[in-house]
């Protein structure tokens, strides 16, 4: 069978999706993935065919996505540009199934128009109205922005409806713009982690994190001793705050444990000042390898990072940046598997205290291990592929 995947051009969305694609390929199916050229090699490395999204540009700066309005705006812009050319290409390809991530609105519209069986992949926790209302305290700034910019919000709602209506489709409920659902929704976490999990019906399949060989360059600088290792990564999008890294480095100097920091592509190591001997810094570190050897993960708390950390039973010290990450951090803290550091700028003495607590108090490791058991029992990519194949057959 032939599958077409569509996803946002971001590692947190693409990495788990490619694990599912690889599983389908291993079972003898053909997979085509639409994305931007930055990810061409990564997509082809799992055996999938790469096709460039017909966006008219190959550069998308996702750092603008600071609130719900920005997210809706980007989703609508992409959908308005992509729906017509994708419909044309997909009708020519005649795939057996379309698979899109839940933030790729264009994938849902294309699926409805072409009447091809369509599956949503959910790289965050699953979202419905009950979850949104339950997390109101984290969304207050969004509500304030909408209240102070009503015309912008009304224009977004108009465009959202038009995207569907001009294809003769009935627009779904407004929340669908942030997490669009299908008759089958594959969620990359566990029901144990999912808030209000009983509010989701059987169309939601919780398969846990997608952990597979990403063919990433292995690291040869990890210190082999009995000291706990600390791994630091603040994602691939909102990772350009020099002062945040400087504060983390100061705290790591105090605790003196071997520490490894991945800073991404937006910052130069020379911007970070004096680096203590117990801290190793690189623009990129292979995350799965690092988590397999670490005792603590200092993270921005993106869903992919949370899933992978807990999969390996690694407690988290969390410094979230945007709403979704704050919601994730709250949930990790509720489960006892980490500490949510709320003070910004970072309070270094408090940060040091949290590092020591997470490494010395066994309750955090125990809670992370409980989450690991729940996540690893969900089935991962194999279970996701089973659900997809059963759905289209």
- Choose between 195 and 8: higher pLDDT: 195
Does position 56 have pLDDT exceeding 80, yes or no?
no
pLDDT at 64 > cutoff 60: no
Segment 149-185, tens digit of pLDDT? 899 889 999 999 999 999 999 999 888 888 899 999 9
Please tell me the distance from the alpha carbon of residue 296 to that of residue 239, in angstroms, as a whole number: 19
Same fold, 2-208+379-392 and 230-376: yes
What whole-number percentage of the chain has pLDDT above 70? Answer: 95
pLDDT given at position 195? 94
pLDDT exceeds 80 at position 75: yes
pLDDT band at 223 (very low <50, low <70, confident <90, very high): low
**Two tokens at 207?**
């398969």
Q: Rounded mean pLDDT of 325-349?
A: 95
The pLDDT value recorded for residue 8 is 84
Give pLDDT, residue 61. Answer: 59
| Alpha carbons 34 and 70: distance in angstroms, whole number | 22
pLDDT over 70 at 273, yes or no:
yes
Q: Is the pLDDT of residue 144 over 70?
A: yes
Confidence of residue 189 (pLDDT cuts 50, 70, 90): very high
Instruction: Give the per-residue pLDDT at 214.
Output: 80
The token duo for 375 is: 């996540």
Q: Using a cut of 0.75, tell me whether the model's pTM lies above it.
A: yes
pLDDT band at 206 (very low <50, low <70, confident <90, very high): very high
Residue 17 has what pLDDT? 95
Look at residue 278 in the predicted model and tell me its pLDDT: 95
Q: In what order do the strands lie in the sheet with 296-299?
A: 279-282, 259-262, 230-233, 296-299, 316-318, 338-340
| Mean pLDDT across the chain | 91
Q: Is the pLDDT of residue 104 over 60?
A: yes
Q: In the sheet that 185-187 helps form, which strands lie side by side, from edge to edge?
A: 49-52, 30-35, 2-6, 97-101, 118-122, 185-187, 204-206
Residue 262 has pLDDT above 90, yes or no: yes
The CATH number for 2-208+379-392, chosen from 3.40.50.720, 3.40.50.2000, 3.40.50.300, 3.20.20.150, is 3.40.50.2000
Check whether 60 has a pLDDT greater than 70: no
Q: How confident is the model at residue 228 (pLDDT cuts 50, 70, 90)?
A: very high
pLDDT at residue 218 greater than cutoff 80: no
pLDDT bracket for residue 340 (50, 70, 90): very high
Q: Which CATH superfamily is domain 230-376 in?
A: Glycogen Phosphorylase B; (3.40.50.2000)
Predicted local confidence at residue 393, as pLDDT: 87
Residue 198 or residue 147, greater confidence: 198
In terms of Cβ atoms closer than 10 Å to its own Cβ (0-12, 13-18, 19+), residue 148 is exposed
Domain ranges (residues) in the chain: 2-208+379-392, 230-376
C-alpha span between 218 and 289 (Å, rounded): 7
Q: Is the pLDDT of residue 297 over 80?
A: yes
Cα 377 → chain centroid: 20
**pLDDT at residue number 205:** 98
Q: Which of residues 393 and 359 earns the better pLDDT score?
A: 359
b or e along 109-122 (b: 16 or more beta carbons within 10 Å of the residue's beta carbon)?
bbbbbbebbbbbbb
Q: Which of 206-215, 257-266, 327-336 has the highest mean pLDDT?
A: 327-336
* Mean pLDDT of all residues in 260-272: 89
Query: What is residue 318's predicted lDDT score, i.e. its pLDDT?
Result: 98
pLDDT of residue 336 exceeding 60: yes
Q: How far is CA 377 from CA 48, 162, 217, 295, 374, in A?
A: 27, 42, 28, 22, 5
Provide CB contacts within 8 A for 329, sequence distance 6+. 301, 316, 318, 320, 338, 340
Is the pLDDT at 221 greater than 80? The verdict is: no
């Amino acid at each position: 069978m032939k599958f077409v995947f569509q996803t946002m051009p971001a590692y947190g969305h693409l990495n788990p999706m490619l694990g599912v694609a690889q599983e389908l390929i291993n079972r003898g199916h053909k997979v085509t993935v639409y994305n931007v050229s930055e990810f061409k090699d990564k997509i082809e490395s799992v055996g999938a065919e790469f096709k460039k999204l017909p966006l008219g540009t190959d550069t998308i700066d996702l750092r603008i996505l600071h609130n719900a309005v920005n997210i809706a705006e980007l989703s609508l812009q992409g959908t308005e540009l992509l729906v017509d050319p994708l419909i044309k290409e997909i009708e020519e390809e005649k795939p057996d199934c379309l698979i899109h991530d839940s933030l790729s609105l264009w994938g849902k519209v294309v699926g409805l128009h072409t009447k091809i069986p369509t599956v949503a992949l959910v790289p965050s926790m699953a979202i419905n109205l009950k979850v949104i209302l339950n997390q109101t305290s984290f969304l207050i700034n969004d509500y304030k922005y909408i209240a102070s910019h009503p015309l912008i919000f009304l224009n977004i709602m108009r465009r959202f409806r038009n995207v569907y209506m001009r294809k003769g489709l009935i627009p779904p409920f407004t929340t669908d713009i942030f997490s669009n659902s299908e008759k089958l929704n594959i969620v990359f976490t566990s029901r144990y982690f999912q808030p209000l999990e009983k509010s989701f019906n059987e169309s939601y399949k919780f398969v846990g994190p997608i952990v597979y060989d990403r063919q990433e360059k292995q690291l040869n600088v990890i210190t082999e001793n009995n000291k706990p290792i600390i791994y630091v990564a603040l994602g691939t999008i909102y990772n350009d705050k020099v002062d945040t890294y400087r504060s983390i480095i100061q705290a790591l100097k105090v605790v003196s444990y071997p520490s490894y920091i991945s800073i991404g592509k937006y910052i130069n190591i020379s911007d970070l000042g004096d680096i203590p001997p117990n801290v190793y810094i690189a623009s990129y570190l292979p995350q799965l390898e690092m988590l397999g050897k670490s005792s603590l993960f200092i993270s921005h708390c993106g869903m992919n990072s949370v899933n992978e950390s807990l999969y390996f039973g690694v407690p988290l010290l969390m410094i979230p940046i945007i709403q979704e990450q704050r919601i994730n951090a709250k949930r990790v803290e509720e489960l006892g598997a980490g500490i949510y550091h709320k003070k910004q700028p970072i309070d270094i003495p408090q940060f040091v205290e949290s590092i020591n607590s997470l490494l010395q108090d066994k309750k955090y490791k125990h809670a992370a291990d409980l989450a690991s058991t729940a996540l690893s029992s969900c089935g991962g990519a194999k279970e996701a592929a089973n659900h997809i194949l059963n759905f289209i057959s």
